[in-house]
Amino acid sequence: MIATVLMGLGAFRFGVTGGSYQSLRRTAEYRWASQDRLGRDPALQFTGPGNEEITLEGTIHPHFRGGLRQIEFMRQAARTGEPMMLVDGLGFVFRRWAIMSVEETRTVLMADGAPRQIDFRISLRAYGEDRA
């Protein structure tokens, strides 16, 4: 069976055989400064791109595939403080991104407290590459 990778963030893979996201929300901001003018409406001046963020939300069924530690592996990657390359399954390179937050909700608990379902949300922010 060939593993399908939806997206890779550094060494972490979102895919059918492990943590899979069901939604991807991407937000891009653009900065405009307001300049007051005498007797006229203020003018806007484009000052450059602002923050770009991606939020991935999904559900993991750890006993089906991938195990219970998938979200913990993502937290460990975030703790390194290193931005990571983000590439989607079609080969589009999104540049480097920093993990800003990792959230999880464990539900459908078994007698020993192990979850049958883990819902997650991972927030990423573009690192902001320097351009020559």
Residue 82: the pLDDT is 94
The pLDDT value recorded for residue 17 is 63
- Any idea where the domains of the chain sit in the sequence? 5-126
- For 5-126, CATH number out of 3.40.50.150, 3.10.350.10, 2.40.30.200, 2.40.170.20 equals 2.40.30.200
What's the DSSP call for residue 113? S
pLDDT at 1: 42
Question: Could you tell me what percentage of the chain is helix, strand and coil, using 3-state DSSP and rounding each to the nearest 5?
Answer: 10, 60, 30
Q: Which pair of structure tokens corresponds to residue 68? A: 């219970």
Structure tokens that stand for 24 in this block: 């991807």
**pLDDT for res 45:** 96
Dihedral sign, Cα of residue 78, residue 15, residue 57, residue 48: positive
CA 47 to CA 73: how far, in whole Å? 38
Residuewise pLDDT in 10s, the chain (132 residues): 455 878 889 888 887 666 678 899 999 999 999 999 999 999 999 999 999 999 999 888 877 766 778 888 889 989 999 999 999 888 899 999 999 999 999 988 888 888 888 899 999 999 987 765
